[in-house]
């Protein structure tokens, strides 16, 4: 009998698990993981084969002529091509000398040389400040001065001092332009070859400034500016605090976007991981793919969120919203609220006006809390639907399940009807129309108990990655969650 390898069945199992995970959690950023970790597959494959051959040798079995067959090599080549292209498309840097793991200040491949940068230029009270594309971090702070001031340092990685010196001269730091429009230029692009230049900048601008920043890789921290802020970057963490104007952010990758206290409209586009917004006075528009945790707190104007699997519109969020993988929790919302999502467990408490909810797969739990009870139209394909209504609520309820149990402890005017595998709970005392529908799952209508609390989205989840680059600039402390609100009785 021909001895066959265990790699092929393992590969099949692996793919099965991946596709299953993808089906259960459509939000899972599988492609991102693949783009990052695909070389591990090669290593695993090799290790498995090697172990197999070791076992065969130890048990004195006949060895194959080649450890990896021709067909397998072809598969491997395909895997490499796909992996490399996904890696490049997803905006990870590649084919480029990296910033390096430093060991006691000395890099494995060359050393880091630091050069100070400092410049100052007087300007008008409300200038437009443009930061040209660069690598490195920038911290921008508004002040009362009428000048743009930059302090910081430039890091050049090179094998020897002379090369670094030349690179330093080739990339002079400059502020150009007149008092109304200034350009901060690092000229990093003039350095070619294997040397890598990055800049750390502390920029002080007049309070009224408008900022337009372009980055390649690196973080932006912007504080106390009353003008507009526009950021585009290939890979950046963005932290904004106390911005007076309009904010526009367009990122190809980011680990975190945090904004606290923005007066104007806020527009975020692209891809990223975590998003945290708090105390926003303007309309908030978020579109793109975000694989991390999204937290929204105290939004005064409408929110429009347009994600890969989720659309969300909320008129106003005096409370908070937290969205993580497979989960949506919100408390204290002003409607109309519209949520359309593929696969999430949805829990919403304390909402008004109207709620329109459509879930493909996931349980729904609603605690309207406030009176009068909002108009609701809830549809889940696979999942339980539960609502707890205050005893004094007025409603016209129609809750149905095509297949599953029904349960109510509300009493009159509700009554239960069973039909086939499913059933319905109906009843009206002349209030807002509440339609709950599930194709498969349990439907529950409860009477809210006197001490029932709203859902408290766990803010500041532990999984949020802390940012090591800016330890001396701690993020503004999030406002503690509002006290739990009791259900009106």
Partner 1 sequence: MTPGFLCAIRGPVMLITLGVLLSVDHFGPVGFGRTWPVLLIVFGIFKLLERSSARSS
Of 57-65, 112-120, 359-367, 418-426: span binding partner 1 (CB under 8 A):
57-65
Closest distance to partner 1 from the beta carbon of 66 (Å): 6
Kindly state the tokens that stand for 109: 């491949």
Considering the complex, state which of residue 88 and residue 449 has its C-beta at the smaller distance from partner 1. 88
**Contacts of the segment 49-52: beta carbons below 8 A, 24+ positions apart:** 49/5, 49/7, 52/5, 52/6, 52/7
Count the residues in the chain. Answer: 489
Q: Which is nearer to partner 1, 68 or 170 (CB)?
A: 68
Does 151 sit near partner 1 (CB under 8 A)? no
Element (H, E) at 44: helix 30-58
Among 31, 32, 34, 97, binds partner 1 (CB under 8 A): 97
Q: What's the DSSP call for residue 253?
A: -
Q: Note whether 193 binds partner 1 by CB under 8 A.
A: no
* Token representation of residue 287: 């579109």
Out of 11, 80, 170, 476, the only residue in the binding site for partner 1 (CB under 8 A) is 80
Pick the closer one to partner 1 by CB: 136 or 369. Answer: 136
Which residue from 25, 34, 99, 481 is in contact with partner 1, where contact means CB under 8 A? 99
Chain residues 101-120 in contact with partner 1, contact rule CB under 8 A:
101, 107-109
State the nearest-atom distance from the C-beta of 8 to partner 1, in Å.
15
Q: SS3 string of 187-221? A: CHHHCCCCCEEEEEEEEEEECCCEEEEEEEECCEE
C-alpha closest to that of 156 among 176, 136, 174: 136
User: CA-CA distance, 380 to 399, in Å (whole number)?
Assistant: 12
Q: Is 14 in the site for partner 1 (CB under 8 A)?
A: no
- As to burial, measured by CB atoms within 10 angstroms (0-12 exposed, 13-18 middle, 19+ buried), residue 349 is buried
Q: Does 336 bind partner 1 (CB under 8 A)?
A: no
CA distances (Å), origin 40, targets 14, 34, 44, 91, 226? 13, 9, 6, 19, 47
Is residue 58 close enough to count as binding partner 1 by CB under 8 A? no
Q: Taking CB under 8 A as the rule, does residue 87 contact partner 1?
A: yes
Residues 26-55: x where in contact with partner 1 by CB under 8 A, - otherwise, as a string: ----------x-xxxxxxxxxx-xx--x--
- The smaller minimum CB distance to partner 1, of residues 76 and 289, is found at 76
The candidate with the shortest Cα–Cα distance to 145, out of 126, 173, 171, 169, is 126
CB 445 within 8 A of CB 389: yes
Q: Which is nearer to partner 1, 4 or 40 (CB)?
A: 40
- Total residues binding partner 1 (CB under 8 A): 39
Q: Which is nearer to partner 1, 42 or 392 (CB)?
A: 42
**d(C-alpha 378, C-alpha 395), whole Å:** 15
Query: What is residue 481's DSSP assignment?
Result: P
Tokens of 213: 């920043």
| Residue 479 binds partner 1, judged by CB under 8 A | no
Is residue 92 within the footprint of partner 1 (CB under 8 A)?
A: yes
Question: At closest approach, how far in Å is the CB of 41 from partner 1?
Answer: 7
Least Å distance, CB 186 to partner 1, is 22
By the criterion CB under 8 A, which residues form the site for partner 1? 36, 38-47, 49-50, 53, 57, 63-68, 72-73, 76, 80, 83, 87, 92, 94-101, 107-109
């Amino acid at each position: 009998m021909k001895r066959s390898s265990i790699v092929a069945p393992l590969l099949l199992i692996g793919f099965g698990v991946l596709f299953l995970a993808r089906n259960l959690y459509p939000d899972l950023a599988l492609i991102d993981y693949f783009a990052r970790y695909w070389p591990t597959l090669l290593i695993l494959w090799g290790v498995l084969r090697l172990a197999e051959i070791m076992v065969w040798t130890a048990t004195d079995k006949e060895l194959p002529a080649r450890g990896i067959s021709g067909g397998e090599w072809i598969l491997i080549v395909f895997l490499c091509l796909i992996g490399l292209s996904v890696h490049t498309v997803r905006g990870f840097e590649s084919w480029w000398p990296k910033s390096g793991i430093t060991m006691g200040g000395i890099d494995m491949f060359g050393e880091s040389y630091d050069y100070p940068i400092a410049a100052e230029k007087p300007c008008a009270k409300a200038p437009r400040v443009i930061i040209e594309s660069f690598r490195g971090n920038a911290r921008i702070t508004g002040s009362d001065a009428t000048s743009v001031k930059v302090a910081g340092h430039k890091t050049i990685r090179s094998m020897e001092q002379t090369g670094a010196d030349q690179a330093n001269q080739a990339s002079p730091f400059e502020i150009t332009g007149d008092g109304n429009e200034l350009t901060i230029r690092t000229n990093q692009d003039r350095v070619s070859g294997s040397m890598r230049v990055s800049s750390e900048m502390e920029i002080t601008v007049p309070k009224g400034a408008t900022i337009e920043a372009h980055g390649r890789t690196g973080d932006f921290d912007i504080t106390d500016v009353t003008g507009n802020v526009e950021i585009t970057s290939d890979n950046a963490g963005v932290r904004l605090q106390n911005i007076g104007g309009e904010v526009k952010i367009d990122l190809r990758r980011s680990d975190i976007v945090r904004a606290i206290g923005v007066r104007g409209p806020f527009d975020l586009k692209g891809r990223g991981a975590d998003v945290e917004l708090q105390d926003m006075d303007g309309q908030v528009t978020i579109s793109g793919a975000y694989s991390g945790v999204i937290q929204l707190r105290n939004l005064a104007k409408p929110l429009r969120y347009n994600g890969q699997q989720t659309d969300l519109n909320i008129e106003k969020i005096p409370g908070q919203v937290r969205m993580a993988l497979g989960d949506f929790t919100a408390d204290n919302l002003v409607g109309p609220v519209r949520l359309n999502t593929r696969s999430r467990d949805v829990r919403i408490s304390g909402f008004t006006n109207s709620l329109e909810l459509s879930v493909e797969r996931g349980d729904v739990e609603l605690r309207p809390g406030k009176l009068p009870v909002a108009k609701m139209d809830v549809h889940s394909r696979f999942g339980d639907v539960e609502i707890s209504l205050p005893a004094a609520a007025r409603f016209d309820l129609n809750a149905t399940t095509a297949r599953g149990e029904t349960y109510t402890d509300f009493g009159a005017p509700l009554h239960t009807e069973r039909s086939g595998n499913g059933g319905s709970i109906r009843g009206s005392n002349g209030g807002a129309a509440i339609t709950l529908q599930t194709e498969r799952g349990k439907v529950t209508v409860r009477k809210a108990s006197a001490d029932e609390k709203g859902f408290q989205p766990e803010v500041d989840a532990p999984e949020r990655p802390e940012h090591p680059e800016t330890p001396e600039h701690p993020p503004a402390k999030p406002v503690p969650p509002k006290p739990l609100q009791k259900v009106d009785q």
